[in-house]
Amino acid sequence: MEFSIKPGSPEKQRSGCVVVSVFEGGQLSEAAQILNKASNSALGNIIARGDMTGRNATTLLLHNLPNIPGERVLLVGLGKQNELSARQYLESIGAAMRVLFSTGAKDAVLYLADHPPVGRDGAWCISQAVLAAFHATYRFDQLKSKAEKNKPASCHIRFGIITGKPNNRQLQALANATAIGHGMKLTKDLGNLPGNICTPSHLAKQAQALSKTHKTLKVSVLEEKDMQKLGMGSLLSVTQGSDEPPKLIVLEYRGADKKQKPVALVGKGITFDTGGISLKPGAEMDEMKYDMCGAASVLGTLQAIAEIGLKMNVVGIIPSCENMPSGSATKPGDIVTSMSGQTIEILNTDAEGRLILCDALTYAAKFEPATVIDIATLTGACVIALGHVASGLYSNQDTLAQELLAAGEQTCDRAWHMPLWEDYQPQLDSNFADMQNIGGRAGGSITAACFLARFTRSYRWAHLDIAGTAWKSGKEKGATGRPVPLLVQFLVNYAHKSHSPE
Ligand code: BES
Ligand code: MN
Ligand code: ZN
């Protein structure tokens, strides 16, 4: 798929499809009015007959409009004009993309950025349309023996602007969204791959492949013996029941001077979570192949910023292993010593994410990071609290939380700020070690974050619990690519801020 911005009026486009919007009540957008005039009121007549109401997310595909050189014209209903919300807009362009890619159009000109929703601008519309195009065309078919029929054909998408030239904001939005789209595809593909293929070694290979494509990315992989030397007793306690070798993958992106402190992204990379000896129930256990979506989002984000060429330094750290039951697996009650020196009583081997993250977070300090963000499918409790809409956000610094929330709002990949108060910490007290790895049923997502907070006191840190947002269950089962948009936008904003003179 290719994207560009194209100045020019809609009635002149010799294109496979010209896409214009209509509002509820039948009012035509500016581009639709131009087409209507050029086609002797063809659009107005169709609307008068009641074939297009302009209702939100409705579409009408037309062929051979009089005096219009475009092969097709696609009308998209945006809903009520004076209260157009971002959500309404996203639903509408989602519907438009589905129809567009069901046609044989090889290229299309979209006039969908001229009526932005409240509080958004044309550049935002372009970003979201690019992501909607990626979403509509995504297929995970690499493991099917026969190719799907009616697979969307590749299409050159142009964003039409009726008058004037594209501005820098629009061009930047297009480039950034394309990179985010590519990053999300990598994140989805890795998430959807099953546990027998997407092993820790596979993730390490993917990281190495990324560094081959992008000279700005350097990769190193720590093996089990390296982790032993570093004293990562907590991480190693999770992998010890598995036959797959664990990996600690480190990706260093250099986009600025060496002296600039990096932002570190730490992603949970459990390639399959059976629960270990605290075995999970069988129903839907297959979904625990998604327990490496934090890791996949770190890889997708680093690929995106390398593609953008962001002027800052970022380190990706991915602790990766399987959580399996076996004769050598960790038992409930076992006590281990983490790299930080703190001891942990493992009361439930299914609370393994925090056990691998705590050592990775201690290791992160070695890079003297300005900020550390971990991303993890950490708790079922977070899904109960926030559903599948928002990721859970925790931070030991309020401005960092605000920056992440804002990036989520900007990209419609939202997070919700959760409390990290000391009041919850006693739930982790242990009779036999410095702490235990579970805090009881109450506030399960919060106590998991509180556990991590005990390892991140020396730097500015945030934690994203993506258990509810990283994949979809049921009929549409599949990875979502979240929170790559949030993370990339956060880093883009971060790079701009540290370069501005203020
Ligand atoms: N990977 C799971 C979290 C999870 C569960 C994500 C369901 C998405 C859907 C994590 O390792 C886990 O098992 N957490 C336990 C923690 C509990 C034992 C304290 C959980 O949430 O049940
Ligand atoms: Mn688990
Ligand atoms: Zn897990």
DSSP string, 239-268: HTT-SSPPEEEEEEEE-S-TTSPPEEEEE-
Q: Which residues contact 416 (CB under 8 A, 6 or more apart)?
A: 386, 390, 391, 392, 393, 405
The residue to which tokens 């106590």 are assigned? 447
Same structural domain for residues 149 and 228?
no
Q: Which of 379, 441, 466, 482 to mutate to test the pocket of ligand 1 (most atoms within 8 A of CB)?
A: 379
Map 323-378 to HEC letters: ECCCCCCCCCCCEEECCCCCEEECCCCCCCHHHHHHHHHHHHHHHCCCEEEEEECC
Last residue of a domain, one of 161, 196, 228: 161
Alpha carbon 255 to its chain centroid, in Å, reads 21
Q: Is residue 288 part of a domain?
A: yes
Of 280, 311, 460, 477, which one is the catalytic site residue? Answer: 280
Of 354, 414, 454, 482, catalytic: 354
Contact 371, 497 (CB under 8 A): no
- Of 131, 161, 191, at which residue does a domain stop? 161
Q: Is 460 a known active-site residue?
A: no
Q: Which tokens in the block code for residue 154?
A: 């590749």
Q: What are phi and psi of 86, to 5 degrees?
A: -60, -40
Any domain includes 12 = yes
Assign residue 381 a region (left: φ > 0; alpha: ψ between -120 and 50; beta: otherwise): alpha
Query: Do both 452 and 314 map to the same domain?
Result: yes
Together in a domain, 211 and 336 = yes
| Residues 146, 35 within the same domain | yes
280 flagged as catalytic: yes
Measured in Å, residue 202 CA sits from the centre of ligand 1 at 23
Query: Which atom of ligand 1 has the smallest separation from the CA of 377?
Result: 6
- According to DSSP, residue 140 is labeled -
What is the C-alpha to C-alpha distance for residues 47 and 53, in angstroms, rounded to an integer?
7
Binding residues for Mn(2+): 268, 273, 291, 350, 352
Q: Which ligand is nearest to the CA of 382?
A: 1
Residue 74 belongs to a domain with what CATH number? Answer: 3.40.220.10
- Cα of 352 vs centre of ligand 3, distance in Å, is 6
Site to substitute for ligand 1 among 235, 284, 350, 435, most atoms within 8 A of C-beta: 350
**What pLDDT score was predicted for residue 213?**
98
CATH code for the domain of 464: 3.40.630.10
Residue with tokens 């625990």: 288
Q: For ligand 1, atom 13, which residue shows the shortest CA distance?
A: 350
Residue 188 has what pLDDT?
99
Indicate which ligand has the atom closest to the C-alpha of 275. Answer: 2
Q: Can you tell me the distance from the alpha carbon of 486 to that of 491, in angstroms, rounded to the nearest whole number? A: 9
Q: How many CB atoms lie within 10 A of CB 281?
A: 7
Binding-site residues, ligand 1, Cβ < 6 A: 273, 291, 348, 350-353, 377-381, 383, 438, 444, 467
Q: Is residue 270 part of a domain?
A: yes
- Residue 292 falls in which region: left (phi positive, over 0), alpha (psi -120 to 50) or beta: alpha
Tell how far the Cα of 193 is from the centroid of ligand 2, in angstroms: 19
pLDDT of residue 502: 44
Do 136 and 16 reside in the same domain of the chain? yes
Residue type, 418: M
> How many CB atoms within 10 Å of residue 342?
16
Q: How many domains does the chain have?
A: 2
User: Is the CA virtual torsion 452, 394, 125, 93 positive or negative?
Assistant: positive
Residues 129 and 258 in one domain: no
Distance 385 CA to ligand 1 centre (A): 13
Q: How far is the CA of 280 from the centre of ligand 3 (A)?
A: 10
Task: Determine the distance separating the centroid of ligand 1 and the alpha carbon of 397, expressed in angstroms.
Answer: 25
The two structure tokens encoding residue 129 = 């349309």
Binding-site annotation, residues: 268, 273, 291, 350, 352
Give, using CA atoms, the residue closest to atom 3 of ligand 1: 379
223 and 90 in one domain? no
In a domain, 321, yes or no: yes
Smallest CA separation from ligand 1 atom 8, residue: 467
Gap from CA of 100 to ligand 2 centroid (Å): 41
Indicate whether 139 and 234 sit together in one domain.
no
Residue 173 inside a domain? The answer is no
Give the range of the structural domain holding residue 45, as residue numbers without chain letter: 2-161
Q: What is the mean pLDDT of each run of 10 residues along the chain (502 residues)?
A: 97 97 96 98 97 97 96 97 94 98 97 94 98 97 90 92 95 98 99 99 98 98 98 99 98 98 99 98 98 99 98 99 98 99 99 99 98 99 98 98 98 98 98 98 98 99 99 96 99 86 46
In a domain, 458, yes or no: yes
Q: Which ligand sits nearest to residue 471's alpha carbon?
A: 1
Position in ligand 1 atom list of the atom nearest CA 352: 11
Ligand 1 atom with the shortest distance to the CA of 270: 1
Ligand 1: nearest atom to the Cα of 291: 1
Query: Hey, whose CA ends up nearest to atom 22 of ligand 1?
Result: 380
Contacts 24+ apart (CB under 8 A), 400-409: 400/371, 400/460, 400/461, 400/462, 401/462, 403/490, 403/493, 403/494, 404/373, 404/462, 404/464, 404/486, 404/490, 406/493, 407/486, 407/487, 407/489, 407/490, 407/493, 408/483, 408/486, 408/489
Domain boundary among 96, 127, 161: 161
| Residue 171 domain-assigned (yes or no) | no
Give the distance (Å) from ligand 1 centre to CA of residue 380: 5
Residues 247 and 360 grouped into a single domain: yes
Helix (H, G, I), strand (E, B) or coil at 91: helix
- The predicted pLDDT at position 499 comes to 56
Residue with CA at minimum distance from ligand 1 atom 7: 380
207 and 155 co-located in one domain: no
Given the CA of residue 468, which atom of ligand 1 is nearest to it?
A: 8
Q: Please check whether residues 146 and 290 belong to one and the same domain.
A: no
pTM for this predicted structure: 0.98
Which ligand 1 atom lies nearest to the CA of residue 288?
Answer: 1
- Same structural domain, 125 and 201: no
